[in-house]
Chains A and B, each alone.
Chain A
Amino acid sequence: MMSFEIAEPQTLSEALALLDPEDPSVRAIAGGTALMLMMKSGVFRPTRLVSLRKLADAHTRIDARANGELAIGALTPLAALEDAPMVRSRAPVIAETLRTLSNVRVRNVATVGGHLAHADPHMDLPPVLIALRARVAVASRRGTREVAVEDLFAGYYETVLARDELISALIVPAQGERRAAYFKCTTRAADDWPALGVAVAVDGAGSAIREARIVLSAATSKPARLRAAEAILGEGTADAVLARAAEAAAEEADVMADGHGSAAYKRQLVRVYVQRALRRALGAPGVNERAQR
């Protein structure tokens, strides 16, 4: 690793002022677990890191808003998110997802904002947050804006954020009757990056489905909603419908081959895990949880 400058601003506006919209060698660093890997491998050679750690106190709160939304400070460590009673009660799928996300040490350090801004398609939370219709608050010297997590990712390790923008908070809307599930499927060892992640959220009671979201990650270059499959769920939750939705998901998913498996095999995994995730979300018995490795 080459030498570089570390700036430690005390406030968000100071941090924003230190970012450079034109210079890719200047980046914000929060927990740094992902950036350190990129720096060690030489993929990222910084000239300046803008450390956000002195901002932590102001940006690690988890608040419940009057409208039922959860507002989560971007510097909240993943472990704090995992343990927060408010998250466990309002969006239990987030806590469940975090249990097999990387490892305890990474979760102790990595932050919610960093996790999202890194835009590695293998990250577990983005598909879940997209399924839950979550948004991020984004700050820059020009002000703040909100971006749906669904619209955050532009491609492989790419977000729609400008170099001088920072995620300041994650907002998870009230889930109402929405039921959600996430499956992380690994193919090389139990503890691994996912070969694919499948998140589903089904809004509505019983078999009357108002809206369903099916989001695929890891097997694709960025998290992707499987809209054809979602549309089929308008017809209900009968086994045959779920099977057709899974078939449509396998058909439409733009999966990539890699060390986790071939494209044809991953398509089969999509077929299986979309069904399993839907069954789990719908609370159906007989869901084969054993296969979640």
Chain B
Amino acid sequence: MKTKDQATRQIGRSIPRREAREKVSGRAEYIHHLRLPGMLYGKIVRSTLAHARLKSIDVSAAAAAPGVAGVITAADVRKIIPDPYYGPIFHDQPILALDKVRHVGESVAVVLAADPHLAEQAAQLVEVEYQELPAVYDEVEAMKAGSAIVHEVLRPAGMFPDFKDLAGRRNTNLHLDFKLRRGDVARAFANAEHVFEHTFHTRQIMHTPLEPIVTLAESNGSSVTLHTASQMVSVVRTEIARLLGWPENRVRVKTAFLGGGFGAKTYIKVEAIAVACALIARRPVKIALTMEEQFYTINKHANTLRLKSAVGRDGRISARECEVWWNGGAYADIGPRLTQKTGFTAAGPYDIDNVHIDSYAVYTNLPPAAGLRGFGVPTLTFAYESHTDMIARELGIDPLEFRRKNLLREGRAQATGTVMRDAATEAVLERLAQRMSWNAPFDRGSGSVRRGRGIAIGFKASISNTTSVAIVNVYADGSCTVYCNTVDMGQGSDTALAQIAAEALGIPVESVKVAHPDTDLTPYDMGTLGSRSTFHMGQAVKLAAEDARDKLLALATALGVPVETTPIADLFRKRYGMQAGNVVGVATFNPKSNQPDHATGLAENITPNWMVGGTGAEIEVDTETGHVRVTRLVNIADCGTAINPQIVESQLSGAAIMQYGCTMSEGIEFDAGQATNASLADYKIPGIRDIPAVFVNEIVAARQESGPYGAKGVGETGTFGVSAAITNAIHDAVGVRITRLPVTPEAVYRALRANSATPLEE
């Protein structure tokens, strides 16, 4: 046993994932596979209109269809859950549509059958009569007077004080207006040498986990158990318990490996429907969405972003004004929190004295939006890093030099007033310049193939005031299990947390197991999202393991055996006379930070840490067709210490490729609120032939002092700069500026034609 807090070889080791063998042999456990005796499948009947009053639902034909065990509507749900609205910030989403539907694809009824084919067949027999209402789809339109109103009354959840004053507000789609006011923006603009203003747009993105959203619920009458592919088992328990009016200990939430999450499997998705069905049918009910149904369930916000900057003769940005509209769709989900938390970084990683930010969460009649890998930061970075490049080029300053001149450096205050600590903005930018060989000559192509390059840098504040609890249970043979609610959805948390526990206990990593979440056994955690687990849960596990280690040391001392050399198993044997007993370490990690001031958005300590990511792209444009090919992509990140460098690298490259998809091809298309490309045949995520030929992923030497062994999160960092690096490179190659994602070949070709004053007809 190790007795001192010295570094051993667990941290910084690229050991294979703990579950590697199960995953390559097809034996890894996913909720997707789970079947229980007597189980029914629930097929959801979905709204065909974007906004309509529900006049009637006729389930008689479906209920009479062969094999159907029941058809559930909101009226049935209300008998067991009188107030069947859920949501983390607003209680605005009904388990099944009640008085009206607010988006195409909204859940209206559920058909239950033991045979999923029969459930699907019968679902087509449910007849719903609607009275259509005017609908609104655009986030800017939705804020204008006279717009269709999605929710008659705002219903904040009441958990968070900063949303309380919105309760009861009527006749508005705006459900959060985050304001940041720093310095004197008006004066800075009045005195500015140059003023630049640009507007940007992004579209809805589908998270597309390949294991679609799935929950299996069962009840024995006195308690309910959910087996769910969720990133947030503790929150699911709390919310289901609240809906049922039960204490939390009657709700058990279990998960397994997730076949991807990316933010889609957060808060309540189909858990509430599954629980309601299981309680009503008195049988286990599995709700497993199809790939298509995921498009109706959750997406990333579409945005409109307006940025305006004042720049002095010295090339310094003196003021920045940002207006960001987040198209939240029909239900708020976590959108308002995103609007605020991501909103305060909208001016970018720049040292600007005067900042004015308005960030609006807006309801529309589209499927609900939530965080997707980066929680809005990749969208903001696309806008502010395009804007930054546009300014630099108009001023004739090298884009790298312009960034150096304005970069937000260590010890300087960010827009909220929080002083930057352990944020390697400078190291990331400089390493990016090196790996891009920014000062070396660059082949610009010829003929119809033109080459260009671009860079971008972004940053993200870690989610603040969240809690992780961990239990480290040392068994009598010296092996141990970490009990925690961090969900391994591919990011490698089981491995990283095992490495941390092993390091703290001074035992081989092979002796550590990380239990999968089961809220009857594993303690509270806010959730596996926002790159928070390595930092938050990593620290909780480290502290819990140290607690266990201290108890083992005390035991050794009490037994009078040498602390340094006695194997753990001998301690137990000596103490209990046989292989028996446990030593349990427990810890809670809850780093404190302040909420932004309601009026000014300012806070002294807005976040426990900052994540910094920079991307450089070299691209080729086919000027005859507008096709863009990324030939080289460089990602540089500050993640503090890398617990497992191989996994860190694959997180960076994976995040960057995901954002490459969001940049180049992905975007849900809607026609009257109906998604028209809701399948992988028409919604193209990147494949192996899309990835750049040369791909560099690197971390800078850095340390997050408040993190476990100097570590912090990295799951999102690779996304930040990708979009703007590519659009900046396109501008560098052919002189056209793409301000709207995705960057389709047609968009580029049209921009080329417009640039040469021969616009292509519509």
Contact = CB atoms under 8 A, between A and B. Distances in A.
Q: Tell me, yes or no, whether A and B come into direct contact in the complex with CB atoms closer than 8 A.
A: yes
Interface of A: 1-2, 42, 185, 187-193, 259, 261-262, 264-265, 268-269, 272, 288, 290-291, 293
B750 A265 contact: yes
A262 B681 contact: no
B689 A290 contact: no
B677 interface: yes
Nearest to A37: B681
Given A189-B685, A261-B745, A264-B762, 5 more contacts: A42-B124, A187-B745, A189-B665, A259-B677, A290-B622
Given A187-B744, A189-B690, A290 B629 contact: yes
Given A187-B746, A259-B669, A290-B449, A269 B625 contact: yes
Interface residues of B, number: 33
B629 to A, nearest CB: 7
B625 A272 contact: yes
B557 interface: no
B627 interface: yes
A264 B761 contact: yes
B689 A190 contact: yes
Contacts of A290: 449, 620, 622, 629
A145 B448 CA distance: 47
16 contacts: A2-B117, A42-B124, A187-B627, A187-B744, A191-B684, A191-B687, A191-B689, A193-B681, A259-B677, A265-B750, A265-B760, A268-B749, A290-B622, A290-B629, A291-B627, A293-B689
8 tightest CB-CB pairs across the interface, nearest first? A190-B689, A189-B684, A188-B684, A191-B687, A265-B746, A272-B624, A264-B761, A291-B622
Given A190-B690, A191-B689, A272-B625, A288 B449 contact: yes
Contacts of B121: 2
A193 B124 CA distance: 30
Nearest to A260: B746
A203 B681 CA distance: 36
Nearest to A191: B687
SS class, residues of chain A in contact with chain B? loop
A264 B684 contact: no
A1 B43 CA distance: 13
Given A259-B677, A264-B761, A293 B627 contact: yes
Contact of B625 (A193, A264, A268): A268
A265 B669 contact: no
Contacts, number: 67
A264 B760 contact: yes
B249 interface: no
A262 B762 contact: yes
B401 interface: no
A114 B761 CA distance: 38
Contacts of B750: 265
A220 B642 CA distance: 53
B117 A288 contact: no
Contacts of A192: 684
A42 B117 CA distance: 12
Nearest to A195: B745
A187 B690 CA distance: 12
Contacts of B622: 288, 290-291
Interface in B112-129: 117, 121, 124
A261 B665 CA distance: 12
A190 B686 CA distance: 8
Nearest to B745: A187
A122 to B, nearest CB: 10
B746 A262 contact: yes
B632 to A, nearest CB: 15
Contacts of B625: 185, 268-269, 272, 291
A31 B620 CA distance: 39
A259 B761 CA distance: 17
Interface of B: 117, 121, 124, 448-449, 620, 622, 624-625, 627, 629, 664-665, 669, 676-677, 681-682, 684-690, 744-746, 749-750, 760-762
A264 B629 CA distance: 22
A246 to B, nearest CB: 11
Contacts of A1: 117
A188 B665 contact: yes
Nearest to B687: A191
A146 to B, nearest CB: 33
B65 to A, nearest CB: 11
Interface centre among A1, A192, A261, A265 (most CB of B within 10 A): A265
B212 to A, nearest CB: 15
Contacts of B687: 189-191
Nearest to A103: B687
A259 B682 contact: yes
B448 A288 contact: yes
Contacts of B627: 187, 291, 293
Which of B625, B687, B744 is the most central at the interface, judged by chain A CB atoms within 10 Å of its CB? B625
B728 to A, nearest CB: 22
Contacts of A190: 687, 689-690
Contacts of B682: 259
A268 B681 contact: no
A257 to B, nearest CB: 10
A290 to B, nearest CB: 7
B677 A265 contact: no
A293 B665 CA distance: 13
Contacts of B676: 259
B568 to A, nearest CB: 50
Contacts of A261: 744-746
Nearest to B684: A189
- Chain A CB within 10 A, most for which of B620, B681, B745: B745
A46 to B, nearest CB: 14
Contacts of A187: 627, 744-746
Contacts of B760: 264-265, 268
Contacts of B664: 189
A192 B448 CA distance: 24
A291 B684 CA distance: 18
Contacts of A191: 684, 687-690
Nearest to A100: B689
A268 B752 CA distance: 13
Contacts of B669: 259
A67 B624 CA distance: 42
A262 B761 CA distance: 9
A265 B689 CA distance: 24
A226 B117 CA distance: 46
Nearest to A288: B448
Nearest to A1: B117
B157 to A, nearest CB: 38
A68 B689 CA distance: 37
Contacts of A265: 746, 749-750, 760
A259 B627 CA distance: 16
A219 to B, nearest CB: 13
Nearest to B117: A1
A264 B750 CA distance: 10
Nearest to B624: A272
A259 B681 CA distance: 11
Nearest to A185: B625
A290 B682 CA distance: 23
Nearest to A276: B624
Contacts of A291: 622, 624-625, 627
B449 A189 contact: no
A93 B685 CA distance: 29
Contacts of B686: 189
A290 B117 CA distance: 45
Most A CB within 10 A of own CB, among B124, B664, B682 = B682
A269 B689 CA distance: 21
Contacts of B746: 187, 261-262, 265
Contacts of B749: 265, 268
A189 B690 CA distance: 7
